[in-house]
């Protein structure tokens, strides 16, 4: 069937079935294609281009503050994975095992990396000798594999793309500073680039990364009120260093264990973009991350001069923005739907009448607002509008989060609030894991984080009534 005989099909209504709406978008906006491999997706050009933009931004920031990229093997020998007890318990149940190379059975199984702490430890044990070798600020862009039973595009897949930073420091304080520095970078990436507001904080012991001393997180709320863990940064203390015997001689020539961190964000952020900003017409992308920021659609393009003007505008704006011109033989209405589905922030329409009047029509993807602009004003109006779209998307997401964030100081309120509406519950906690477990059993909500910005909701634990230690943000998660 020829492509142009198909229709731009409507997607499921977002308020009716959020999950179905989501999976409609990932395929209809041509972000991914399902494959013959269970739980593994193909990232199509448009989906991969969003990831490239995330990479370019974050990679630049990481290099600016002294990080270097490396590449370590995708395989981890079983014996190496087992060196740190908590870590292997956390990951062994969900790894893929290579048992044969060609026709021969391997003497030792290799797992496909679910994360690379153990390989980085093995590397650091070889290359770190002196305090002069510290800090090591290494980062890796790669794919990892976790044998998940239930998968969902971008949110939870068997293989996914990410970056994993692994650093080594002379002191616990240096490691802690790095852990927080990166968390702030992740918050800036989410808020300033992806227009996704996040809450920064610490994970409870129960939710900590396998092998970490402290795990920090940035937590976002999606349009439906569920939480998305969007990036984590771990301080390992010297736990891995002791397990892998990684020591350096300090200024006094004394052997000391190193202190380590690791941190990562993944293609899950693309899922976050969809679920934060998308609407019933498809994806909505913040201009800073959109592969195409402005799409030019000529109207009555067969008429003399229209395509010439469209091309001139394209060349004029291409130096400053990521611009495309759609001069295909589809109807303008069809093109509008397609580019709305792909979430392109601005559409520029130009037809014979516009040319006569020396103007164009700009249309915002986020609001649908139509703005006639004189051609000679374009260079001023386009950047202002892109900036507006970026800010509005952030504010809209923030307003949704505020509207769906509640306080509870007893379990009855906690449960009934979550029954009425999915959202975040701010509630006090005594610090006891038994209460955390009970809250999950009674409400299916988990602790998202202990936010850095603490509020005093009450003085007692929402669950057991004992004196409270922290305010925790609770929510249902992806």
Q: Tell me whether residue 178 or residue 191 sits nearer to a copy of itself (CB atom).
A: 178
Instruction: Retrieve residue 111's tokens.
Output: 């797992």
Q: How far is the CB of 42 from a copy of itself (least distance, A)?
A: 5
Residue number with CB closer to a copy of itself (69 or 421): 69
Select 76 or 355, whichever has its Cβ closest to a copy of itself: 76
Residue 335, CA atoms < 13 Å, CB-side half-sphere: 19
Choice between 97 and 452, CB closer to a copy of itself: 97
By CB under 8 A, name the binding residues for a copy of itself. Answer: 1-4, 33, 35-37, 40-45, 48-49, 51-52, 68-77, 80, 92-103, 110, 112, 119, 122-123, 126-127, 129-133, 138, 142-143, 145, 147, 159, 161, 249, 253
**Residue 463 φ/ψ, nearest 5 degrees:** -95, -55
Q: Nearest-CA neighbor of 293 among 335, 322, 315, 273?
A: 322
For residues 13 and 24, give the distance between their C-alpha atoms in angstroms, rounded to a whole number.
10
Nearer to a copy of itself, 72 or 241 (CB): 72
Residue with smaller CB distance to a copy of itself, 124 or 474: 124
Find the distance separating the first CA and the last CA of the chain, reported in whole Å.
37
Using CA atoms, how far apart are residues 285 and 297, in angstroms rounded to an integer? Answer: 18
d(CA 12, CA 19): 9
**Dist CA 179 CA 135 (whole Å):** 13
Q: How far is the CB of 114 from a copy of itself (least distance, A)?
A: 11
Cα 307 from chain centroid? Answer: 38
Task: Compute φ and ψ for 320, nearest 5 degrees.
Answer: -100, -30
For the bound state, the minimum distance from the C-beta of residue 332 to a copy of itself, rounded and expressed in Å, comes to 18
DSSP string for residues in 344-410: -SEEEEE-HHHHHTTEEEEEETTT--EEEEEGGGHHHHHHHHHHHHHHHHHHHHHHHHHHTEEE-SS
| Least distance to a copy of itself, CB of residue 389, Å | 25
Q: Which is nearer to a copy of itself, 100 or 384 (CB)?
A: 100
Instruction: Kindly state the smallest distance separating residue 72's Cβ from a copy of itself, in Å.
Output: 5
Residue 30 to residue 32: CA distance in whole angstroms? 6
- Please give the Cα distance from 315 to 317 (Å, whole number): 6
Nearer of residues 161 and 435 to a copy of itself, judged by Cβ: 161
Least CB distance from residue 292 to a copy of itself, whole Å?
13
Cβ at position 180, least distance to a copy of itself in Å? 24
Return the exposure string of 248-266: e unless at least 16 CB atoms fall within 10 Å of the residue's CB, then b: beeeeeeebbbbbbbbbbb
Decide whether 131 or 478 has the Cβ nearer to a copy of itself: 131
Smallest separation (angstroms) from a copy of itself to the CB of 253: 8
* DSSP H helical ranges for 166-321: 172-188, 239-244, 268-277, 306-318
Nearer to a copy of itself, 71 or 459 (CB): 71
Residue 66 or 376 having the CB closest to a copy of itself = 66
Distance between CA atoms of residues 97 and 112, nearest Å: 6
- Please, are residues 276 and 392 in contact by the beta-carbon 8 Å criterion? no
Distance CA 37, CA 96 (A): 13
Least distance (Å) between residue 96 CB and a copy of itself = 5
Sort residue 189 into left (φ over 0), alpha (ψ -120 to 50) or beta: alpha
Hey, which residues does 137 pair with through a beta bridge? 167
- Measure the CA–CA gap between 343 and 270, rounded to whole angstroms: 13
Q: How far is the CB of 52 from a copy of itself (least distance, A)?
A: 7
| Closest approach of a copy of itself to the CB of residue 220, in Å | 24
Closest to a copy of itself by CB, 157 or 235: 157
Distance CA 331, CA 293 (A): 21
Shortest reach from residue 60's CB to a copy of itself, in Å: 12
């Amino acid at each position: 069937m020829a492509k142009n005989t198909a229709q731009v099909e409507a997607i499921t209504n977002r308020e009716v079935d959020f999950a179905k709406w989501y999976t409609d978008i990932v395929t209809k906006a041509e972000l991914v294609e399902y494959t013959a491999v269970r739980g593994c997706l193909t990232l199509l050009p448009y989906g991969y281009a969003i990831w490239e933009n995330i990479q370019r931004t974050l990679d630049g920031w990481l290099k600016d503050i002294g990080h270097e990229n490396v590449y370590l093997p995708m395989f981890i020998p079983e014996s190496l994975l087992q060196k740190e007890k908590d870590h292997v318990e956390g990951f062994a149940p969900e790894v893929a095992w290579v048992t044969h190379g060609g026709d021969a059975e391997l003497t030792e199984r290799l797992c496909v990396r679910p994360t690379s702490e153990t390989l980085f430890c093995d590397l650091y044990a070889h290359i770190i000798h002196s305090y002069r070798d510290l800090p090591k600020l290494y980062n890796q862009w790669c794919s990892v594999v976790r044998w998940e039973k239930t998968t969902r595009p971008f949110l939870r897949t068997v293989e996914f793309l990410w970056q994993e930073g692994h650093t080594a420091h002379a002191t616990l304080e240096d490691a802690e500073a790095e852990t927080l520095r990166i968390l702030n970078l992740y918050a800036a990436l989410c808020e300033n680039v992806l227009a996704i507001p996040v809450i920064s904080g610490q994970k409870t012991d129960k939710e900590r990364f396998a092998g970490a001393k402290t795990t920090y997180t940035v937590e976002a709320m999606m349009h439906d009120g569920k939480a998305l863990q969007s990036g984590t940064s771990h301080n390992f203390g010297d736990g891995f260093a002791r397990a892998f015997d990684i020591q350096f001689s300090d200024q006094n020539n004394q052997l000391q264990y190193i202190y380590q961190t690791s941190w990562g964000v993944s293609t899950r952020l693309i899922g976050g973009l969809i679920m934060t900003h998308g609407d019933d017409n498809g994806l909505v992308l913040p201009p800073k991350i959109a592969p195409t920021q402005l799409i030019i659609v000529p109207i009555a393009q067969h008429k003399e001069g229209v395509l010439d003007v469209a091309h001139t505008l394209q060349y004029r704006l291409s130096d400053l923005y990521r611009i495309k011109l759609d001069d295909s033989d589809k109807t303008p209405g069809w093109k509008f739907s397609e580019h709305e589905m792909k979430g392109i922030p601005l559409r520029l329409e130009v037809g014979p009448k516009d040319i006569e009047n020396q103007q164009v029509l700009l249309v915002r993807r986020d609001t649908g607002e139509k703005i006639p602009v004189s051609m000679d004003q374009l260079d001023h109006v386009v950047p202002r509008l892109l900036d507006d779209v970026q800010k509005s998307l952030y504010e809209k997401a923030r307003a949704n989060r505020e509207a769906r964030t509640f306080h509870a100081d007893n379990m009855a309120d906690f449960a009934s609030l979550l029954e009425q509406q999915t959202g975040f519950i701010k509630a006090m906690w005594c610090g006891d894991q038994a209460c955390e477990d009970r809250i999950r059993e009674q409400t299916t909500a988990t602790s998202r984080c202990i936010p850095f910005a603490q509020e005093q909701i009450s003085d007692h634990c929402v669950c057991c009534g004992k004196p409270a230690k922290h305010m925790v943000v609770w929510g249902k998660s992806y």
